[in-house]
Amino acid sequence: MKVYIDGKFLDEKNAKISVFDHGLLYGDGVFEGIRAYNGRVFKLKEHVERLFCSAKAILLTIPMTPSQVSAAVVATCRRNKIKEGYVRLVVTRGIGTLGLNPNRCKQPCVVVIADKIQLYPEKMYQEGMAIVTVPTTRNLPNALNPAIKSLNYLNNILAKIEANNAGCEEAVMLNSMGNVAECTGDNIFIVKGKQLLTPPLSAGALYGITRGVVLEMGKESGLTSGEPDLTRYDLYNADECFLTGTGAELIPVVKIDGRVIGEGKPGPVTLDLVRRYRTLTRSTGEPI
């Protein structure tokens, strides 16, 4: 495997960054997870735009233009002969000192890794998954805004640990108001009648690329899309529930905190959206 680091392609064993990089020392950086399907990079423009928005929010100047970053992603996929795969795009603050001061970091570091990924077992896509609500609260927007896809993912990791300790692969995270924010790595949706509902971004949900695609597909299907504040009560009493994310795609949820959702199996709206999403990913994107 060849890894892109600051304009060079390096063998996996030689793809290294300094121990003084603030991305390692402090989680000071931003990233994107991107998928490739059928020889195309899906929603590349949207992912790169979100990367630059995250960077702007933490006053990190990416030393490349958006078009140059996009070209680096495509080139890395091409170099690794990726037709179906996952891309991790990372920008760190760069090499600095052991102090916090980011101004000591002279040059940001850009990394692109193109490989494979499978977040959940195939059986869960067919039968649905069980998830739990965990004690770890979603970061406050005025502390570390969840809209920033930063390298500091400890909030999500702690929630993931709690889910794993409960015997589940995923966790529902609530915000400080007790409303549903998102899961550890995915946005969450419910179906209630003809309504397709997901927590608002202000609740602590990530500006999900897949989330946006699903909201658009819902409208095209004749569903009424909404982004109201949701509580666990709303989740428990939903007709259907599913999660969305670049890595996860769309995965049905059939049980939350021991409560069976709907009929306890992937519902018709979910299955239709899964089918339509897979068709879309196979037919659109930036050619590799």
- CATH code for position 187: 3.20.10.10
pLDDT of residue 119: 79
Single pTM value for the model: 0.95
One domain for residues 146 and 279: yes
Give all strands (DSSP E) within 53-93, no chain letters: 85-92
Q: What residues are labeled active site?
A: 149
Domain containing 84 equals 2-115
Query: Structural domain tally of the chain?
Result: 2
Measure Cα distances from 216 to 32, 209, 266 in Å: 21, 11, 20
Tell me: do 160 and 47 sit in the same domain: no
Residues 109-163: tens digit of each pLDDT: 999 999 988 878 899 999 999 999 999 999 998 999 999 999 999 999 999 999 9
Judge if 135 and 267 occupy the same domain.
yes
The pLDDT, as a whole number, for residue 117 is 83
Same domain, yes or no: 41 and 64: yes
Please check whether residues 273 and 238 belong to one and the same domain: yes
Report residues of the chain scoring pLDDT below 50: none
Q: Same domain for 236 and 99?
A: no
Residues 103 and 129 reside in one and the same domain: no
Phi, psi of 50 (to 5 degrees): -65, -35
Asked if the structure places residue 154 within a domain, the reply is: yes
Q: At which of 115, 143, 172 does a domain end?
A: 115
- How far from the centroid of its chain's Cα atoms is residue 76's Cα? 20
Question: CB neighbours (10 Å) of residue 229?
Answer: 14
Residue 194 included in any domain:
yes
Compute the distance between CA of residue 45 and CA of residue 83 in angstroms, rounded to an integer: 18
